[in-house]
Amino acid sequence: MSDLIELAGRAAASRPRVVIVGGGFGGLHAAKALRYLPVDVTMVDRRNHHTFQPLLYQVALAVLSPADIAQPIRTILRKQENTQVLMDEVVGIDARARKVALESGAQIEYDYLALATGATHSYFGHEQWAPLAPGLKTIEDATEIRRRVLLAFELAERQMLEHGWHPPLNFVVIGGGPTGVELAGAISDIAQLYMRHDFRHIDPAKSRVLLLEGSPRVLAAYPEDLSAKAEQTLKRLSVEVHTHTQVTGVGPGWVEAGGKRIDAAVTLWAAGVQASPLGKMLGVPLDKRGCVIVDSHLNPPGLPEVFVLGDLAHFEQDGHQVPGVAQPAMQMGDYFGKALAADLAGKARPNFRYFDKGDMATIGRMAAVAKIEWPFKGHWSGFPAWITWITVHIFFLVGFLNRLSVFAAWIWTFFTFTRGARLITGSQQLPGWQDKGPKPVGDQPETEKVAAGS
Ligand SMILES: Cc1cc2nc3c(=O)[nH]c(=O)nc-3n(C[C@H](O)[C@H](O)[C@H](O)COP(=O)(O)OP(=O)(O)OC[C@H]3O[C@@H](n4cnc5c(N)ncnc54)[C@H](O)[C@@H]3O)c2cc1C
């Protein structure tokens, strides 16, 4: 590591210095939990904003604008006097010397470190698929997906006008977890409902949405009855659900799965996640996805001053790993505050315990599935689950103005069938879709080219 650069604004050296890396759900809750403690906090994030990831797909499918679901971290923490915010990327951790190194060259010393840098996409060793099949994790990913989906309709219209045909408008979503299910349902809504009056030469409703899932069912982490409901709902939305279907290749304009090549105007990746690479820098045991294995105080072995929070933590409770979703990340952040308060008071740290309130996934504009654990236990699906989903997401969204604008956008979209943020920015190219020219001689009807459903 290079020489230590003292950060200006540091308060009395007698107060413990806390560095929080990552302003996602875990990191933000951790920072807020320290609000009244006599500590000096530095929050570092490589982006200037907190992203409400559960609503990213609504940006990707043009219902919401990026600013509706993202808030500057500095603004969120502006009233917290013991906290400074730094936009920079952590590129190194020296756990023995208790320092983190930043991309800008600065280093920050800490007495306590909270690592909450989340997870990223995993292409299972096929990194070359990434530019062909973007995943959804950041605002940039969401606007790229929005660009590709909207551009596909535009290119088809142009192709139809110029040459009287267009290649199949197939949208292939790889991975049938919550993100894949949400994306597939929303693309189908766009094609079937929102675009139908906007084009003169193509019929967007004739486009196809294919959801490819390697395991026997979609939403595999949910109870079987909810998986079945989700699949039924997707089929009602005209999504072609292909379970037991392993993807073996992704190329420009095609996906190979189940031994067949499928035409794909747009391919999206929702199949795998891996932990942020920062976990490795601690030099402690990791699980197979790179998550840091932590004890009941959220500490890795031998590092009681380091706390790992959120998606980056592998924490087991009652024999099961706590899932990588927002609730555990928030609760881990809150716990960080309690653990530090105990240390400062000279008391023993309490154990962390995850309080599971349930899980929800939405499917299209009016349906969802919900596994509810609190305040009562139950499985919901359809419209009641969707109303619950909307209420919970409005409630947890950061920022009062964001809540208002998201609520207004949903009401507007629901009643008018008009999408709010249908903007194409950036390149006008799609992988595998240059100007196709006249229809190739001997071209098969598109339905024969697509793998049969399972
Ligand atoms: C599309 C999508 C939909 C989802 N839907 C749901 C849902 O409906 N319900 C639910 O409960 N959960 C959902 N999740 C999961 C949930 O969003 C995550 O579990 C949660 O965000 C994890 O919080 P975290 O704080 O661990 O990480 P994150 O929220 O991912 O935050 C990590 C932060 O660390 C920063 N960072 C990363 N590396 C560095 C570095 N080296 N230096 C500095 N900063 C860094 C990032 O910029 C980011 O701000 C969804 C996730 C996605 C991607």
Q: What is the pLDDT of residues 374-396, one digit of tens each?
A: 999 999 999 999 999 999 998 88
pLDDT digits (tens, 9 = 90+) for 412-450: 887 777 767 888 999 999 998 876 777 776 654 443 333
Amino acid at residue number 181: V
CA of 259 to the centre of ligand 1 (A): 34
Mark whether 324 and 214 lie in a shared domain.
no
CA of 287 to the centre of ligand 1 (A): 18
Residue 225 falls inside a structural domain: yes
Domain count, the chain: 2
pLDDT digits (tens, 9 = 90+) for 125-184: 999 999 999 999 999 999 999 999 999 999 999 999 999 999 999 999 999 999 999 999
Give the number of the atom of ligand 1 that is nearest the alpha carbon of residue 278.
41
Q: Is the pLDDT score of 410 beyond 90?
A: no
Angstrom distances, CA of residue 42 to CA of 10, 93, 108, 277: 9, 15, 9, 21
Residue 4 falls inside a structural domain: no
CA of 200 to the centre of ligand 1 (A): 40
Mark whether 159 and 267 lie in a shared domain.
yes
pLDDT the model gives residue 442: 63
Mark whether 278 and 266 lie in a shared domain.
no
What's the whole-number mean pLDDT along residues 201-223? 97
Cα separation, 433 vs 125, whole angstroms? 26
What's the whole-number mean pLDDT along residues 208-225? 97
217, containing H or E segment: none
pTM recorded for the entire structure: 0.94
Give the number of the atom of ligand 1 that is nearest the alpha carbon of residue 47.
47
Cα separation, 209 vs 196, whole angstroms? 15
pLDDT the model gives residue 447: 36
pLDDT higher at 332 or 446: 332
pLDDT digits (tens, 9 = 90+) for 220-276: 999 999 999 999 999 999 999 999 999 999 999 999 998 999 999 999 999 989 999
| Main-chain dihedrals φ then ψ at residue 227, nearest 5 degrees | -60, -45
Edge-to-edge strands, sheet with 83-87 = 83-87, 40-45, 17-21, 112-115, 306-308
Mark whether 257 and 394 lie in a shared domain.
yes
Q: Is the pLDDT score of 189 beyond 60?
A: yes
Q: Is the pLDDT score of 6 beyond 60?
A: no
Cα separation, 180 vs 202, whole angstroms? 26
Residue 56 falls inside a structural domain: yes
**How confident is residue 2, by pLDDT bands cut at 50, 70 and 90?**
very low
Q: Read off the tokens for 100.
A: 């983190």
Q: Read off the tokens for 258.
A: 């189940």
pLDDT the model gives residue 411: 83
Expressed as residue numbers, the domain containing 236 is: 147-271+366-437
Mark whether 154 and 241 lie in a shared domain.
yes
Question: Which ranges of 269-382 would DSSP assign to H, the alpha helix?
Answer: 326-344
CA of 118 to the centre of ligand 1 (A): 5
Amino acid at residue number 325: V
Mark whether 162 and 174 lie in a shared domain.
yes
CA of 329 to the centre of ligand 1 (A): 9
HSE-CB at 204 with a 13 A cutoff on CA atoms is 21
pLDDT the model gives residue 49: 98
DSSP of 125-182: T-GGGTTTS---SSHHHHHHHHHHHHHHHHHHHHHHHHHS-----EEEEE--SHHHHH
Mark whether 374 and 259 lie in a shared domain.
yes
What's the whole-number mean pLDDT along residues 39-60? 97
pLDDT digits (tens, 9 = 90+) for 282-293: 999 999 999 999
Give the number of the atom of ligand 1 that is nearest the alpha carbon of residue 26.
25
Is 183 in a helix, a strand, or coil? helix
What's the whole-number mean pLDDT along residues 17-46? 98
Q: Judging by DSSP bridges, how do beta strands 40-45 and 83-87 pair with one another?
A: parallel
Mark whether 372 and 318 lie in a shared domain.
no
Mark whether 294 and 383 lie in a shared domain.
no
Mark whether 258 and 297 lie in a shared domain.
no
pLDDT the model gives residue 97: 97
Ligand 1 cavity residues, CB under 6 Å: 21-27, 44-47, 53-54, 56-57, 89-90, 116-118, 136-137, 178-179, 276, 278, 310-312, 324-327, 329
Cα separation, 340 vs 32, whole angstroms? 13
Residue 391 falls inside a structural domain: yes
Residue 202 falls inside a structural domain: yes
Q: For ligand 1, atom 15, which residue shows the shortest CA distance? A: 325
Cα separation, 218 vs 370, whole angstroms? 14
Mark whether 288 and 219 lie in a shared domain.
no
**How confident is residue 454, by pLDDT bands cut at 50, 70 and 90?**
very low
**Would you call 182 a catalytic residue per the annotation?**
yes
Residue 250 falls inside a structural domain: yes
Cα separation, 235 vs 315, whole angstroms? 36
Mark whether 35 and 118 lie in a shared domain.
yes
Give the number of the atom of ligand 1 that is nearest the alpha carbon of residue 27.
25
Q: Is the pLDDT score of 104 beyond 80?
A: yes
pLDDT the model gives residue 409: 85
Of 81, 109, 127, 182, which is the active-site residue? 182
pLDDT the model gives residue 3: 46
Cα separation, 200 vs 197, whole angstroms? 8
Instruction: Among 44, 308, 325, 363, name the best residue to mutate to test ligand 1's pocket (greatest count of ligand atoms within 8 A of Cβ).
Output: 325
pLDDT the model gives residue 372: 94
Q: Which residues neighbour 313 within 8 Å (Cβ) at sequence distance 6 or greater?
A: 291, 292, 294, 298, 322, 332
pLDDT the model gives residue 350: 98
Q: Is the pLDDT score of 329 beyond 90?
A: yes
pLDDT digits (tens, 9 = 90+) for 360-377: 999 998 899 999 999 999
Pick from 62-71, 188-197, 430-439: least confident: 430-439
Q: For ligand 1, atom 19, which residue shows the shortest CA distance? A: 325
Residue 406 falls inside a structural domain: yes
Residue 142 falls inside a structural domain: no
Q: For ligand 1, atom 30, which residue shows the shortest CA distance? A: 118
CA of 405 to the centre of ligand 1 (A): 22
We report the CATH number of the domain holding residue 162 as 3.50.50.60
